[in-house]
Amino acid sequence: MKLYIVVPCYNEQEALPSSAAALSRKLGTMIAAGRVSADSRIVYVDDGSSDRTWALIEELNRTDPLSRGIRLSRNVGHQNALTAGLVTMCEEADAIISIDADLQDDIDTFDEMVRCYEDGCDVVYGVRSKRETDTFFKRFTAEGYYKVLDRLGAKVIFNHADFRLMSKRAVRAFAEYRETNLFLRGLIPMIGYRHAIVTYERRERTEGESKYTLGKMLALSWEGITSLTNKPLKLITWLGLIIFLISLGMLIYTLIRYLCGATVTGWASLAVSIWTIGGLQLLAVGVIGEYIGKIYLETKHRPRWHIDEILD
């Protein structure tokens, strides 16, 4: 089989030299063992980096026969950069493994992924067996997020990020999803082909710093919810109904108190109620606005990326 490894890179000049060496050794070993064909390749996708990432990719292309490169014209984000690599290389490979440039995911699981592919699986998910290297905050929020997605009806693989193998058939099916707002962890399971799971222990990052800041992680999390499910809109409807029933009950209570000759007290509770309802209304308008904004972007049908250069 002809295997391609797609590696999205954004400002990875610190991590890329050691990561590229490890990936080249691993793919070379698999080729020597006859696990994959000799024309298998590693494809680095430069997502509009502002450092020397592209220069390093060009050097790898000159010195390492297994390395290729794709340069995007600007920064389009991790999900789009990864998609660009998958779609561009789809017709050249029998299967594609996607992995981040920091190599925190275990490259030794490549062999097991290939075995699952040979057994007939179109998608093989890399799933973390545990999160001991994460801080308590990150572990708690990440696992909680997967559970929230599941409760909202968005089906994702628990503790899976973007480390996976996809067959040519699976990538072709994924390419038919042309939406602008991408959340691959939720889109790939929608394909529905036969899949398998391999578990591994995620390593700590040894070179450079993570490009996924807290703000980017929160943005990706919200992208996943709003791209995969409309349950928040339904929750707003139910919230409005509950508040209406409470206000109806308070109206009846106030009328009864008035007819009994009692004065209505509680200015503090009245002020709190006004602020609470006002805040909920603004929140509801904000959530609805997010969905309308996504509809606005989708209807424009803008290209998600432009490829500036491909190194063969």
208, pLDDT greater than 60: no
CA angle at 32 for the pair 29 and 33, rounded to the nearest 5°: 85
Both tokens of residue 37?
Answer: 């064909």
pTM of the entire predicted model: 0.77
The whole domain housing 76 covers: 3-229+302-311
| C-alpha separations of 162 from 57, 82, 91, 123 in Å | 21, 9, 21, 12
Residue 262's pLDDT is what? 66
209-222 mean pLDDT: 61
Residue 174 belongs to domain with CATH number: 3.90.550.10
Split into its structural domains, the chain has a count of 1
Is residue 20, in this structure, part of any structural domain at all? yes
Buried-exposed string 248-273: b where 16+ CB fall within 10 A, e elsewhere: eeeeeeeeeeeeeeeeeeeeeeeeee
Tens of pLDDT along 49-93?
A: 999 999 999 999 999 999 999 999 999 989 899 999 999 999 999
**Position 264 pLDDT exceeds 60:** no
User: What's the rounded Cα separation, in Å, for the pair 62 and 54?
Assistant: 12
Whether 110 is covered by a domain: the verdict is: yes
Q: How many helices (H) and strands (E) does the chain have?
A: 10, 8
Give tens-digit pLDDT for 190-201: 898 999 999 988
Q: Is residue 79 part of a domain?
A: yes
In a domain, 186, yes or no: yes
Decide if 65 is inside a domain. yes
**How high is the mean pLDDT of the chain?**
83
For residues 280 and 75, the model is more confident at 75
pLDDT digits (tens, 9 = 90+) for 141-174: 666 766 766 676 667 777 788 899 999 999 999 9
